Amino acid sequence: MSEIKNVKVGIVGGAGYTAGELLRLLINHPNAEIAWVQSSSNAGNLLADVHQGLWGETEMRFVPEVDLNGIDVVFLCSGHGFSRQFWAEHEMPAGLKVIDLAQDFRDESDGYVYGLPEVNRDRIAAARKIANPGCFATALQLSLLPMAKAGLLPEDVHITAVTGSTGAGVKPGATTHFSWRDNNLSVYKAFGHQHLAEIKRTLSALQPGIDHKVNFVPVRGDFPRGIFSMAYFDTDIDEAAAKQLYKDFYADARFTFVIDKSADLKQAVNTNKAIISLEKHDGKLLMICAIDNLLKGASGQAVQNMNIMCGFDETAGLRLKPSAF
């Protein structure tokens, strides 16, 4: 492998939660230099005025416009639907690598590769454009991939998953403000969440011939960050064999871990890890997966993809301690 060089990075849409986490990671990344951070609404403001956890870390200010020349990697952190508009208005320089955190290209249109390293690492390494997976999609897929790869995933799968309030974005809304969200739970988009499309595409690629019915009930949690997913289905495989299947599948995964105790959310929050545990109950296999929705579910996985694309250590900038207490 050729000598590793640092990369210059630009961030489009720098004011949201995912951009804030991305900045935290890249400021401390050994091989990345942030060239600019764009935000139309905050142009001229200090990054730390918006992302207040960055006080003392950077004196950079938001810029109103982008300059794609002279940078190596651009992260698109704006809302869904923005990315297609962005490329309609900007020319992509030769050699520029793109990591899109929106859902615009998760169907792998326009030459994008779906950025789930646990199944697409080799394709990511050779790619120029990456579509970063959704947060729920990451947790749910990691719960199911080994069974699909083994041809053991049944047609009907049942999943309930609870997400933190940061999953709704930084803009305040009726279901995100503290007095409503605190000490409260609520279901939304039951059986119709937008991440189901990308989940089904991945499962169908691993286990062709089955029209997977992922019965997914998302729940708003009364905490800021994290996703706790519980998937189950009827199967003949026993618990020991299932655990071994998962451990073998993720043996080379740098951030996905199958543990023998029941997974909990605090093992994953503030890290790029996915923590998975399995239990068998009366013919039903239960798969629990915990991730941080802003890290493994968004910005951490985006940096992981950058590391793979650029030939860096896959864990560079991502050795984070969980907030276990």
Which positions are catalytic? 135
Residues 7 and 31: beta-carbon distance below 8 Å: yes
CA-based nearest residue to 61, from 74, 51, 53: 51
Q: Tokens 């409503």 appear where?
A: 180
**Helix (H) and strand (E) counts for the chain?**
9, 13
Helix (H) or strand (E) holding 125: helix 117-125
The burial of 128, by beta-carbon neighbours within 10 Å (0-12 exposed, 13-18 middle, 19 or more buried), is given as: middle
d(CA 218, CA 30): 37
Angle at 221 between CA 52 and CA 49, to 5 degrees: 10
Torsion of CA 278, 281, 285, 291, to 10 degrees: -40
Residues 324 and 297: beta-carbon distance below 8 Å: no
CA-based nearest residue to 213, from 147, 161, 148, 155: 155
User: Structure tokens of 184?
Assistant: 């409260």
Residues 84 and 22: beta-carbon distance below 8 Å: no
Non-local (6+) Cβ contacts of 33 within 8 A are 6, 7, 8, 9
Q: What is the DSSP letter of 316?
A: T
User: Structure tokens of 73?
Assistant: 């990697």
The edge-to-edge listing of strands for the beta sheet with 284-291 is 186-187, 213-220, 156-163, 227-234, 284-291, 274-281, 256-258
